[in-house]
Chains A and B, each alone.
Chain A
Amino acid sequence: MTEYVIRRFLLALVTIWIVLTFVFFVLRVLPGDYAEQQLANQFFAQAARSEEQREEQLADLRAKLGTDKPLYEQYGLFWWDILRGRSQESFQYNRPSYSVAGDALPYTLQLGLMSLIISVLLALPVGVLSAVRPDGFLDAGLRVFAIFFLAAPAFLTAAIASAYAVKYDILTIGVTSQQLIWDDPWASFQLFLVPALAGGLAVGAILMRFLRSGMLEVLRQDYVRTARSKGLAGGVIIARHVLRNALIPVVTIFGFLVAALVAGNVVLESMFAIPGMGNEILQAIRIRDIPVTQTFTLLLVGAVVFVNLVVDLSYFLIDPRVTVSGADA
């Protein structure tokens, strides 16, 4: 068991290493760098300079950013910084990228958690209801609902929902500031409600379908028939025997859900101008802010890999039938 945990942990580290190495080299292969973009922005100053002056300035700026060093040296520095728990300075903000991440993280967490809560609140009753009477009227309707929100992209739902919210004065969204839940709970709730609803519907639809098929699977099991023949009430069977066992496979896709939320957040944050991690990394990739892109990738991928690891290890706690040899990948 201990050996299995250690092996899984090492494999998780390898996964993170591959992703970060990939991002490191892609960022340096991309045409155009931060220094060039900065100089290109100073249009009038540039027009007055000669070609040589421009080259010199470019070299100065690159030396300041540290992107003129040979690749292997940059790669070494990159890992040395990660190992000693420090981060390189962001090109655009002139402060460590961990501190940039620290500012953005609460927004992403709030949006992600609100989406997750909405999706669970939606999926749990709906999944149970549609599995209790499969192929009934309610089940058919709810399945259509779930399939529809699997197909309709979150940005479409969000665009329509926000337009109606504004049209009918349902929400009064302050455009000047992005409030977090502990700054001003009500304003923050209103601001995050539409994106969280759109994200929650998209993820909830996945969860709903998964829960339904899990419930149907469990309902066929012998122990459910035993419970029925004992004369247990239907509600008790569903709550005690079926739902609890159907939730086990749901846990397996939890890592996938977190990844889906992270990805969804990129679009929704940029749409609603929420200064979260998705929005920041989008901008960082566009303007080639290498340290921010790398640090945020580390954090996002680290989170997904970590959740997956915890999920895999938690099988042993949730389901005593699972053994190490059976879980061998």
Chain B
Amino acid sequence: MSSAAAQTTEDVFEGFAPPADPPPLVRYLRALGRFFRQKTAGGIALLIASIILVLGIIGPWIAPYDKDEVFRVDNPNYDLSSDNPDDWEAYRFLTLENPSWDHLLGTDHLNRDLFTRVLHGARRSMLLGFGAALIATVFGAILGVVSGYFGGGIDLVSQRLVDAFIAFPPLLFLLLLLQTGEASLPRTIIALSFLNIFGVSRVVRSATLAVRNDVFVEAARVMGAQPPRIIFRHVFPNVFAPIIIIFSTTIGGAILAEATLAFLGLAPPGPSWGAMVNNGRQFFGSEPILVAMGGGALTLTVLAFNIFGDALRDVLDPRLRGA
């Protein structure tokens, strides 16, 4: 078509032209708005999850104190010659204090500021949750698409591996992997992602099987496209919804798994929500603050990610409901 012809067409249809596609940002915002209207609970969960994610990123910088700083108050009546034994101590540690203006969430059993520790715990949970989910999703998706698309020997072998590692109690699997050396954050992330690869690959594989023999894949094959091109241009875009869904649901599971490890005392040292529950357990009857804060933060976070994942699944792929 010559440029002159294009000019005329535009002239003719001037005034009737369909509105131009809005810029991508506007489109994403509109999709987000639609999501909020359709799924109120999911929208609220997304909001909470985003706040926790932001807190996880900036938390340690906005934390009011150092994470290991110990707090005590001087005793105004300090007097060794006093008859009252309470006056013999020069200062008193702030152990398991209730929330106050100085310590927004109170203090823990080792006299440290709980608000600071909860913020540091958020960074760890976010790092572990997103890190493990991302690695697991990338490798699981590759494994799933390849074994689903090619079938045959690759599929047989990978499916047996998937069967084996799904039958393996996840906690024991984590324990074994973590015993390979000192418990460090990268090691925990790798162990957690390894744990989830197989579940992800199973979901992606079954989605790929559904797409593999669709007409458009058939058409691409007839046109002589090579498998890599078919996989990247035709299969991947069509199994992207389940991949996003499984990514969002894996985050909550990974956070929960880390908390369980921390509860058992097997996670790397440092502030962790699961460890708070473990440490606060013995004082729970009289001073529930530590369990309440650690457990509350943990439950709220996992709840937010789970509800958001569910809503996302309902919107993107209703067939997967209950998967």
Number of A-B residue pairs at CB separation under 8 A: 121
Complex contact B169–A11 (CB within 8 A): no
Complex contact B260–A213 (CB within 8 A): no
Which B residues between 177 and 195 are near A, CB-CB below 8 angstroms? 177, 179-181
Complex contact A285–B179 (CB within 8 A): yes
Which A residues between 279 and 329 are near B, CB-CB below 8 angstroms? 281-282, 285-286, 297, 300-301, 304-305, 308, 329
User: Distance (Å) between the CB of A198 and the closest chain B CB?
Assistant: 12
Closest to B284 in A: A163
How many chain B residues touch A (CB < 8 A): the figure is 42
Complex contact B180–A31 (CB within 8 A): yes
Complex contact B322–A213 (CB within 8 A): yes
Q: Which of A14, A159, A262 has the most CB of B within 10 A?
A: A159
- For A147, what are the chain B residues with a Cβ–Cβ distance below 8 Å? 303, 306-307
Bound form: Cα–Cα A308–B307 in Å: 28
B52 interfacial contact with A, CB 8 Å: no
A175 interfacial contact with B, CB 8 Å: no
Bound form: Cα–Cα A11–B322 in Å: 27
- For B322, what are the chain A residues with a Cβ–Cβ distance below 8 Å? 209-210, 213-214, 249
B281 interfacial contact with A, CB 8 Å: yes
A22 interfacial contact with B, CB 8 Å: yes
A19 interfacial contact with B, CB 8 Å: yes
- For A263, what are the chain B residues with a Cβ–Cβ distance below 8 Å? 169-172
User: Distance (Å) between the CB of A113 and the closest chain B CB?
Assistant: 17
B164: contacting residue among A18, A151, A156, A286, CB under 8 A: A18
Bound form: Cα–Cα A282–B172 in Å: 7
Instruction: Decide yes or no: A259 and B169 within 8 Å by CB, A22-B164, A23-B176, A156-B277 being known contacts.
Output: yes
Instruction: Decide yes or no: A285 and B306 within 8 Å by CB, A213-B322, A262-B169 being known contacts.
Output: no
Which B residues between 274 and 321 are near A, CB-CB below 8 angstroms? 274, 277-278, 281, 284-285, 288, 291, 295, 298-299, 302-303, 306-307, 321
B260: contacting residue among A27, A267, A304, CB under 8 A: A267
Closest to A288 in B: B179
Contact with B along A264-283 (1 / 0, CB 8 A): 00110010000000000110
Complex contact B170–A163 (CB within 8 A): no
Instruction: Decide yes or no: A156 and B264 within 8 Å by CB, A11-B163, A15-B167 being known contacts.
Output: no
Complex contact A155–B172 (CB within 8 A): no
Which A residues lie at the B interface, using CB under 8 A? 11, 14-16, 18-19, 22-23, 26-27, 29-31, 147-148, 150-153, 155-156, 159-160, 163, 166-167, 209-210, 213-214, 249, 259, 262-263, 266-267, 270, 281-282, 285-286, 297, 300-301, 304-305, 308, 329
Which B residues lie at the A interface, using CB under 8 A? 159-161, 163-172, 175-177, 179-181, 252, 256, 259-260, 263-264, 274, 277-278, 281, 284-285, 288, 291, 295, 298-299, 302-303, 306-307, 321-322
Name 5 A/B residue pairs within 8 A (Cβ), A-sorted.
Answer: A151-B306, A159-B277, A163-B291, A213-B321, A259-B167
Q: A15-B164, A259-B167, A304-B169 are in contact. List 7 more A-B contacts (CB 8 A).
A: A18-B160, A27-B176, A156-B291, A249-B322, A263-B169, A297-B168, A301-B167
